Chains A and B, each alone.
Chain A
């Protein structure tokens, strides 16, 4: 009889209300392999690993590890059985050191002394073994995102304080926050883990890296396992079709000559409320009809730039002109000036999730004469406008409750279509297209179909004469949309150069701050 696989999922089924999140999924993970779990948002990837880790209890089905059944619904049992999970959003305490974070929760409450020495040795040994270099004494708050992820992985792998370290490592969208170079280093570590006999489940919706890193690929769609393919011999169009269920067309870009300057930033700097510098010495010129993309690792000042150009934050020094005018830092003025704004966090900033769809459709313009008279909201006109947006921007999920649908219940893609429509369409008195579009991570967390739709809308608006500032951490997106690209690092913006002048490696270097092109800066300033 052959040895049982490292992990076996037998007919896992999970239902949330009317939604069948996991429909009879059976899957094996062998020792020494990376199994990619590929699927769009809502395909059931997260539900499946949540069941595996004991956050949810499956309605039906069993899990075996090394042939032993895993008791359902108990994260402690999953940990004891050697399942380690690295979440997309880190679960580290910033004010504690790396070592403290790794030890956190492993020590019995009543033991009077600590075992730091042993823990430290175990940490360093594991770090060495898998090429995950970290300084055990550094406070986590001082680490880069890539380093933090290493700490998360180490936390899952270190054997200290448990019978055994993780034998199965689950990584949820691990590269979403990394530079290309950091991703490479992660992939190298994964190769070493696999060689040591670990099994890795790698969750992603990026086709390139799935092909690059895994041995087998499991494709999920609408809660069902569509296919399990060997990575060798698979290709991108094939995976995309398995994932979406139909061929996916990429957005079409029409090139045109850029027009007048719409945004001009001169030696602009921005500080936070405590006086710390967020942006320093930014120079930028953005023309009508072009897409300028700002690349960079999260947390390098992109948020401040987006807030500045959405009218949420005031300049500290320098100049900022939109169509030759200096605008006050009040969002309403920016909306009135024809700036379409797409915020990064669509749930908390883009919409008021508890309010109905139609109210969110006029959230930026409820007080404009188009929708309000004498302090009363003209519900008829606002609803007509919302209905128009729903139709023109193909917002789905309104079948049962129509315009009164709570915005919370829309999927991420449909919520983004609503925000996009609200920003691009203007109001009945001032119909679009906008003068400027500020899109901050516009496709973050969206599925392929919605991504293509958002991209096409941005490009169409650009072709109609809007200037587009795209802030993104997704380099595929940047290369697909941008005319010019600039890289942001530690609150400074590098020179904006034509897309053809950049390579992936050059952007990666600039994102990590080591490849700042001083010569180009001088030329640009001159």
Chain B
């Protein structure tokens, strides 16, 4: 058995790849469901019903999808430029902390500014925190060739430990009965609800607007052209006179800012304060979402809703049948592997 490069990749293959990957993922995870002793068909039915089957399910899925869209965009733009940012988790927490530092500390009132000024300042601080966190690895990569996968991955642990220290120290909420959680954001800074009787908030709109904006950036602007060229042909881009290092820095700032924004949106839209379990791996799921979307910012929205549906659905499924809720994480992880294989098969065919 061997792989042969295809002469060209058809549009149909590109559309079928994510669908095929998802179906294969569900087929593979059904083995685990069976192992857990649950009826496969009923379990999957419950999973889908739990994720998409009712008004409540759909609104919960959209709430979960909001930060996932943002981390998915963060990974998509970085991967387009071949900057393998695996640190969105850390950048998300950095953004969340920065948001609370601007809008929650100082006696629970935030900085002494009007909400009209304070809100943009909070968002800017969160984006800046995420961006700066990725700037270091990007510069180390361009200057010294340090592998950014390693640096960004390890920064996650550093940030999480720093968050842990802050939640028990400088940013600890004195009224939280000793729980390690931060001071809450000022009420005026919380995002408003999009729908009544749900948790869907205006952050979803921001995520949708940003995915269109990022798509347009990549498609229509000189910077987008540079990002795509530097990503798929760095030597040709340099030969043609593109500022390769500067493009890398801009992409790092953009990707980090999107992940940082995800943190701020979670705090302002859902939790209100920072806890250590605020993100159940949104950063890492962003990588999967970007790959499922084949790095297309518009497709990121669909991929994020799929992943969110699995996460939400697994919660309700695990209450009805004896499958632990961790099945959702397994599905997401296997989906990544299946998607990588499917992407490979769009470019190569298997020969005997």
Using a CB–CB cutoff of 8 Å, the interface residues on chain A facing chain B are: 16-19, 57, 310-312, 330-332, 334-335, 341, 343, 345, 348-355, 359, 363-364, 366-367, 372, 375-377, 379, 406, 409
Contacts and interface: CB of A to CB of B under 8 A. Distances in A.
Find the residue from B7, B223, B225, B228 having the highest chain A CB count within 10 A: B225
Nearest to A362: B225
Contact of B236 (A310, A334, A352): A352
Contacts of B4: 16
Contacts of B228: 352, 355
B352 A57 contact: yes
Given A16-B4, A331-B241, A350-B236, 9 more contacts: A17-B7, A330-B241, A349-B236, A352-B236, A353-B233, A372-B222, A375-B221, A376-B221, A409-B8
Nearest to A341: B239
B232 interface: yes
A376 B217 CA distance: 9
14 contacts: A17-B6, A341-B239, A348-B233, A352-B236, A352-B237, A353-B233, A355-B232, A359-B225, A363-B229, A366-B225, A376-B220, A377-B220, A409-B7, A409-B8
Contacts of B106: none
Contacts, number: 74
B205 interface: no
B117 interface: no
Contacts of B239: 310, 312, 331, 341, 343, 349-350
B170 to A, nearest CB: 41
Contact of A351 (B220, B221, B236, B241): B236
A177 B4 CA distance: 28
Find the residue from A310, A335, A354 having the highest chain B CB count within 10 A: A354
Find the residue from B4, B6, B220, B229 having the highest chain A CB count within 10 A: B229
B222 A376 contact: yes
B229 A353 contact: no
B238 interface: yes
B7 A363 contact: no
B351 interface: yes
A474 B236 CA distance: 24
A437 to B, nearest CB: 15
Q: Ordered nearest first, which 6 A-B pairs have the shortest CB separation?
A: A352-B233, A331-B241, A332-B241, A354-B232, A363-B240, A17-B7
Contacts of B240: 331, 363-364
B7 A375 contact: no
Contacts of A349: 235-236, 239
Contacts of B221: 375-377
A348 B241 contact: no
Find the residue from B221, B228, B240 having the highest chain A CB count within 10 A: B240
Contacts of A363: 229, 236-237, 240
Nearest to B9: A406
Contact of B229 (A17, A312, A352): A352
A314 B3 CA distance: 42
Nearest to B236: A352
B222 A366 contact: yes
Interface string B222-257: 110100110011011111110000000000000000
A348 B238 CA distance: 11
Find the residue from B220, B221, B229, B236 having the highest chain A CB count within 10 A: B236
Contacts of B235: 345, 348-349
